[in-house]
Amino acid sequence: MYDSYIHKLTAEANVIIVSIDYRLAPEHPIPACYDDSWAVLNWAAQGTEPWLKIHANFSRVFLAGDSAGANIAHNLMVRASEESHFVTSLVGMALIDPYFGNGKPDSLWTYLCPKSNGINDSRFNPAAHRSMLSELKCSKVLVCTAGKDFLRDRAWTYYETLKKSGWKGQLGIKEIEGEGHVFHLFNQTSEKAKVLMKSIVHFLA
């Protein structure tokens, strides 16, 4: 499903996408997914891959993902913002149906991250760390959610907290009514999936 969707997005937005096959929990607990993704981001940023070096525009790099991938994209942006040696220009971040915490116990997060710092672990509940959000070094963020997504409220909380954090970038949110979590993967040719795709393409332009 992801391969198909990424091909569609690549064609629609005229972008190059580097998709990360990160190790999965529980066999590889968190932070394995973050470490793998950070390694790939740095590999791409070095510009040593000949094809990327020729075709990619390293002055316009976006991070994006859905569900857990949105969580990972956010955490990569935080780390890139904190490390002064990271020189690639990260323009923006698209978070689709992001899997974040809400300050309450979450059995899935505990299972995936047995060494978590608790319900307000900054990797899981960034809304509890407003000062961290204010330091994001990208200039634009798009949060997408769906009306029937069980994580809808968490997406809105992230959006509202970032909006009030003092971060100076361009912030937007797109909600697709009547749809559930990552619906765009399961019915990629539906009209509502096309609406979501159009919003992402416009954001990347």
Please state the three-class secondary structure of 96-137 as a single string. Answer: ECCCCCCCCCCHHHHHHCCCCCCCCCCCCCHHHCHHHHHCCC
Q: How many CB atoms lie within 10 A of CB 107?
A: 7
3-state helix, strand, coil in the chain (%, to 5): 45, 15, 40
Spot the catalytic one: 67, 81, 122, 134.
67
∠ CA 201-202-205, rounded to 5° = 85
Q: How many helices (H) and strands (E) does the chain have?
A: 9, 4
CA 42 to centroid of chain Cα atoms: 16
Is 67 an active-site residue? yes
Peptide bond into 26 cis (omega under 30): yes
What is the rounded distance in angstroms from the CA atom of residue 143 to the CA atom of residue 120? 20
The residue type of 73 is: A
The residues carrying an active-site annotation are 67
